[in-house]
Structure 1
């Protein structure tokens, strides 16, 4: 995975297989003249468990906000004391689910993604852990931690689409992954779609 992440990434070719209807592209974002998006980062952890490779996502609490009750990777907004976005991703993972900074080996970035509804420009990072982490969720930010074998991504029967409500009382048709009964859609599904693309490439080698 590390060597593959150092090569050109599939980017929007993969991301937009799981994009909601009317989704802006990154090119649309840059051409819009928006100079002040919130910079943020997420951490996609990969670690050995049950003779396979696992990752984890989290269910956010139901509270006011654009991403209430949604599934996401650990992550959040860049803070002034963060050295860079990689540091942001690792710090947030420790704060939200208890993953220790010293345990994370960053393999590389996935493609950045702009989230219009919250004006965030998100940089995903893939990080390796040598063993399954001891997880401790922050109850203020995380309702549930969801672990899954990454081969779950390859099951076509777990993809579908439906209408999702948005926080501004509108709705949107979007594809989703069925993650153990949770519907993962939007930006997180788009990140997973790029990860899926890479996993399929690696398996074929």
Structure 2
């Protein structure tokens, strides 16, 4: 998808009805399906926000950025995700959280990002976070400056996300599940699953409009 075509879609992206849980659950691990709204509320999840940042690459194709988390002793070590993190008391809103975290993790300033819209929050059982995604875009190809939380950035073509051949399943073993088939996207040689895949599933449906 050329970046002009993406820009032409922005007005529609802002107003189109979201696919919500129906779209997210197409890429949800079995563990997530066990949680309804009442169970999530009873868990009193911590709030977080992430940014799905779209921009033109060097050939004017529309791409978005994912990050590979640094390795650490924690639930989401070395996983693929959008830039983002938990809300701070200084943040006026979750949108501000997403923009602040994006600046801290990959060096993109808030003033350079046009926030298009908020998406459906995603509950993450292993860490008990409720993460709200935002779609944003930049008019030019950015230069990323990563911090210690990010091992590297991953540039993904929107065309690859929209191609159904990117959909797959993988046998997954983590600290909280063993040998479970998990739906995922395979993008640029990386396996994208869990909350990030759920967010991408909703974004994919929105972009196909």
TM-score by length of 1: 0.91
In structure 1, the residue matched to 2:7 is: none
Taking structure 2 as the reference length, the TM-score comes to 0.89
CA distance in 1: counterparts of 2:165 and 2:82, whole angstroms: 22
1:51-101 Cα distance to aligned partner (Å, 9 max, x none): 221100000112111111100000000000001000000000000011111
Structure 1 residues not aligned, in runs of 5+: none
Q: Match of 1:24?
A: 33
Q: Give CA deviations for 1:13-34 in whole Å, capped at 9, x if unaligned.
A: 11111111242376x1334542
Choose which of 170, 179, 182 in structure 2 pairs with 1:174.
182
Equivalent position to 2:48, from 40, 45, 53: 40
For 2:61, the equivalent position in structure 1 comes to: 52
1:164 paired residue among 154, 172, 178? 172
- What RMSD in Å do the two structures reach over aligned CA positions? 1.6
Please state how far the C-alpha of 1:114 moved relative to its aligned partner.
0.6
For 2:109 and 2:53, how far apart are their aligned partners in 1? Answer: 12
Determine the C-alpha separation between the residues in 2 that align with 1:177 and 1:119: 23
Residue matched to 2:15: 6
Cα drift, residue 159 of structure 1 = 1.6
Alpha-carbon distance in 2 for matches of 1:191, 1:19? 10
Residue 77 of structure 2 aligns to a residue whose secondary structure is coil
Matches within 5 A, 1:43-192: 43-49=51-57, 50-138=59-147, 140-168=148-176, 170-192=178-200
Contact 1:72 1:188 in 2 (8 A): yes
CA contact (8 A) 1:66 1:118 kept: yes
Inter-partner Cα distance in structure 2 for 1:19 and 1:33: 19
Q: Which residue of 1 aligns with 2:206?
A: 198
Residue 5 of structure 1 deviates from its aligned partner by 3.1
* Residues matched between the structures, number: 199
Residue 131 of structure 1 aligns to a residue whose secondary structure is coil
The alpha-carbon deviation at position 120 of structure 1 amounts to 0.3
Q: Is the 8 A contact 1:18 1:193 kept in 2?
A: yes
Q: Is the 8 A contact 1:60 1:68 kept in 2?
A: yes
Q: 2:54 touches 2:137 (CA, 8 Å); kept in 1?
A: yes
Decide whether aligned partners of structure 1 residues 22 and 98 sit closer, same or farther in structure 2, where only a CA change above 3 A counts. Answer: same
